[in-house]
A = this chain, B = another copy of it.
Amino acid sequence: MVDWTAVDLALADIESDRDRATCQRLSLDYAHFSPILWPQLQDRAADRVLYPRSEADLLAIARVCVQEQIPLTVRGAATGNYGQCTPLHGGLLVDLTAFDQIVWQRESRLRVQAGAKLAAIDRALRPSRWELRWAPSTYRTATIGGFFAGGSGGIGSITYGQLRDRGNLLGAKVLTLEAEPRFVELQGEAVQAINHAYGCTGLITELEIPLAPAYDWQECMVNFPSWAAALDFAQAIAEADGLIKKMVCVLADPIPSFCKALKDSWQTGESAVLLLLTEPSLEGATAIASELGGRISWQRSPQDQPLFTLMEQSWNHTTLHARSVDPVWTYLQMLLPLGEEAQFIRHIQQDWGNNLLWHLELIRSHGQVRVAALPLVRFEGRDRLQQLTDQLTAAGAILFDPHTYCLEDGGMKQIDLQQLTFKEQVDPQGLFNPGKMRAWREKYGDRTV
């Protein structure tokens, strides 16, 4: 049993929340997108939420966790979808948002504290004409630490690939839960030990990342009479090496109607492509659109009043908007089979019709343009969802299950030995975010304690 009086005394100098309601509220993320995840997570809560302001605070927290064998889970902005910041076994939830400083910037290399918000980083970098390579659709609130700890890519992946791809993460500073907690510096390949590990392999306090040139991104929406024409257009844009893009998103009919911001620019039956492009790329995109029968239904320059941005209609914001219209919608995540994307969709549509609405995001993967899909799925129970998943897999898609909080069952697909080995070094008691890493659970049980 944890001696909470002793814990509270040891951490008395650090701001905290202790009441059950607050702890529970702060322990949850967007896992309610999943009717499968939510029942498993909605009652989980930390015992304490802590707001450290210094590395000394963090060391004090780590020492208490090690001594008292208390689980430690990190919270950024809780914009994840798979319970990344939800403590399965209580303990301390450490809010890192006070660690929000840019440490240094050297040309296209940035050192930043993990709690910095993505939008704030971009604002700070703007005068230097650099920006982050990616933005999740939650970029306004999400933190850089949470993004690398649990994200896989997003807006920007059409140019820079996925967060895990070589060259996209350069270094990290990590707090350990060894017998004597300390900060360790990871560089080179070693840094992959904390990339997309849900904070199971250390508490990330700083990240070193490469930047992208900050263009004045133009946003435009192009409507087509069919999803197939929209997909053709999206692929043509994505494959045009002379057109510089940050986002190529396809919303099949009637998904645009679910997004308040897009509704007025959409007519029944239309599928839409949402683009972020550089200004000189607009002419080429317009030419391709007119060749393929598209109409530009909405356009915005950075100089225009930003009533809304297409970035917040894409990726998991699409899911959010659909669920706000009708919570029966949930979603899946997959990579469509290369070169057979349209056939694949047609094939699946035969059986699933309007119970499956196609939301596609074009990305680069290992040097090629790939079509990722985050289709909206009408939820009709767990068995039916499994049936769909099986059919999609059989038809050649690679699925990344968003209905699990387990690292390896989601995006990773397999046990990451580097991450397991590193966790054994820095967290021998298994206190970091326990229960999320299957490799550890299978070897040591839910916790070693």
Contact = CB atoms under 8 A, between A and B. Distances in A.
A278 B167 CA distance: 10
Contacts of A106: 279
Most chain B beta-carbon neighbours within 10 Å: one of A167, A278, A287, A367? A167
Interface string A230-245: 0000000011111110
Contacts of A241: 159-162, 165, 364-367
Interface in A170-224: 170, 187-189, 210, 213, 215-216
Contact of A279 (B108, B215, B244, B364): B108
B367 A167 contact: no
A107 B215 contact: yes
Contact of A215 (B108, B243, B283, B284): B108
Nearest to A365: B241
Nearest to A159: B241
Which bracket fits the contact residues of A? Answer: 35 or more
A199 to B, nearest CB: 22
A243 B189 CA distance: 14
A101 interface: no
Interface in A277-300: 278-281, 283-284, 287-288
A160 B210 CA distance: 20
Most chain B beta-carbon neighbours within 10 Å: one of A109, A187, A213, A367? A367
A123 interface: no
Nearest to A171: B283
Interface in A245-298: 278-281, 283-284, 287-288
Contacts of A284: 166-167
Interface of A: 106-109, 129, 159-162, 165-168, 170, 187-189, 210, 213, 215-216, 238-244, 278-281, 283-284, 287-288, 364-369
